[in-house]
Structure 1
Amino acid sequence: MKLALITGTSKGLGEATAKLLMDLGYTVVGFARSDNKDLNKYHAKGSYHHISLDLSEVDKTEKTLKAFTSNLNYDLISECVIINNAALVQPIEQVGKQSTTSLKKHVHVNLLAPMLFTNHFLNVWGDNIDLKIANITSGAANRSVYGWSAYGSTKAALDRYSDTVAIEQEELENKHKIILFDPSIMDTGMQGEIRSADTSQFKEVENFKQLKIENRLRNTNIVAEVLVKILQNENELKNGEYYSIHDYVKE
């Protein structure tokens, strides 16, 4: 069995990636707060299974992962792909006006959840199954943006974390591979949240509104195709590599 674990499959890139992997015969397990009826009805070689989970709840996330792996028959799994896709952009606000609750939720979903998933499966499966882990990053990890202190910080931290895991796996001479994938700007619900921000919260809001008007937001299906091709190209997939949609799809 080819297994794929994806966070944030209720919509957007997570949903699009799940469908493509199902087409390739993967058993896809989606971790998200809301179930996806389209994925449940989707006819493909593979299948979809939903696990209801709020990734901002750390204890529940840990318990859910333990329960999930305790019920797996490892002998039936030939490969496993993990895609840490779920992310929040809120709070979009200048520092000093952010609520503790929103910051805590943001860090848990964007940073701690991918760390928990990566740590858990490397620990449980060890050398028995070769893992391919893709952490979804952003250009915001490499530049400071007014109003995006939380988003930029968590993405930057995720990049460094992924790099460190890759170094460790290389030193340990394991076959596990962890990569970063930057999808850039997509036509998703997150973009709607960004465009709804006030200029006092986010100085670049007008630029993002213009991207929508000019139809310059990428379709998630196109981005998902690139991500899946990268993961499927076993001979070219490099541990610790940063992959960007810009290298595969021109403007």
Structure 2
Amino acid sequence: MPVAIVTGASKGFGRALTHALSARGWQLVVDARGAEALKAAGFGSNVTVIPGDVTDPAHREALVGSVSRLDLLVNNASALGPSPLPRLADYPLGDFVDLYETNVVAPLALTQLALPSLTTVDGTIVNVSSDAAVEAYEGWGGYGSSKAALDRLSAVLAVEHPSLRVYAFDPGDMRTDMHQAAFPGEDISDRPEPSAVVPSLLRLLDERPPSGRYTK
């Protein structure tokens, strides 16, 4: 039975992916900052929930320490930053640092802990990215640049660990709380549900193409 860690699994894409992998028989360890939201996600008995914040070193240790093997690490937990999205000239620097701590430093720190287990089985790392990592949108300088940094980490990890598959996966716009926060007051009902995007990532996991950046 393959084993995965999925961060940010209480809602949105992380929750949809966890349900899909669970249905395939995977053993999963998942987290999110909200313990109640994790409980309400309705995961099965093959999903272990460990509430916590990925920026907390002790929590990251608990995630990796809870598994005896690891086939897949999905760094999905992310922060958007202030909403409405500020221009870079006005971006609060404290919020900018916090954003990078969540979107860049924490995924790398968790990956460092997971690498010994992942390399044993030639496993897979998925870093959830965004089109804002490659396109310049007004107001998206904080979030977009953090995802661009995560993309670069993914590419370098792939070179340094050629036995692994390392994917920067861009799911596109989705109907999520984070996307709504990026567009406060706007109707985002035309965006697809996260569950509609999950098959694109499952296809990557099944086919194991070369490491790289992939979109849905």
Larger Rg: 1
Q: Does 1:242 align with 2:213?
A: yes
Are the structure 2 counterparts of residues 126 and 82 from structure 1 closer, same or farther at C-alpha, using a change threshold of 3 Å?
closer
Alignment of 1:165-204 (within 5 A): 165-170=157-162, 175-196=163-184
Runs ≥4 residues deviating over 4 A? none
Alignment of 1:13-162 (within 5 A): 13-35=13-35, 36-39=38-41, 41-43=42-44, 47-55=46-54, 57=55, 60=56, 62-72=57-67, 74=68, 77=69, 80-91=71-82, 92-122=85-115, 124-125=116-117, 127-162=119-154
Query: How far is the alpha carbon of 1:66 from its aligned partner?
Result: 2.7
Q: For residues 26 and 164 of structure 1, what CA distance do their matches in structure 2 show?
A: 28
Q: For residues 194 and 125 of structure 1, what CA distance do their matches in structure 2 show?
A: 36
Query: How far is the alpha carbon of 1:31 from its aligned partner?
Result: 1.8
**In the comparison of the two structures, how many residue pairs are matched?**
212
Give unmatched runs, 5+ long, in structure 1: 198-208, 246-251
Are the structure 2 counterparts of residues 230 and 38 from structure 1 closer, same or farther at C-alpha, using a change threshold of 3 Å?
farther
Give unmatched runs, 5+ long, in structure 2: none
Q: For residues 238 and 155 of structure 1, what CA distance do their matches in structure 2 show?
A: 22
The secondary structure found in structure 1 opposite 2:17 is helix
Q: CA RMSD in A?
A: 2.0
Q: Contact 2:154 / 2:167 at 8 angstroms: preserved in 1?
A: yes
Q: Contact 1:179 / 1:238 at 8 angstroms: preserved in 2?
A: no
Query: How far is the alpha carbon of 1:107 from its aligned partner?
Result: 0.7
Q: For residues 140 and 94 of structure 1, what CA distance do their matches in structure 2 show?
A: 14
The secondary structure found in structure 2 opposite 1:32 is coil
TM-score, length basis structure 1: 0.77
Q: For residues 134 and 184 of structure 1, what CA distance do their matches in structure 2 show?
A: 15
Q: Contact 1:166 / 1:239 at 8 angstroms: preserved in 2?
A: no
TM-score, length basis structure 2: 0.89
Query: How far is the alpha carbon of 1:4 from its aligned partner?
Result: 1.1
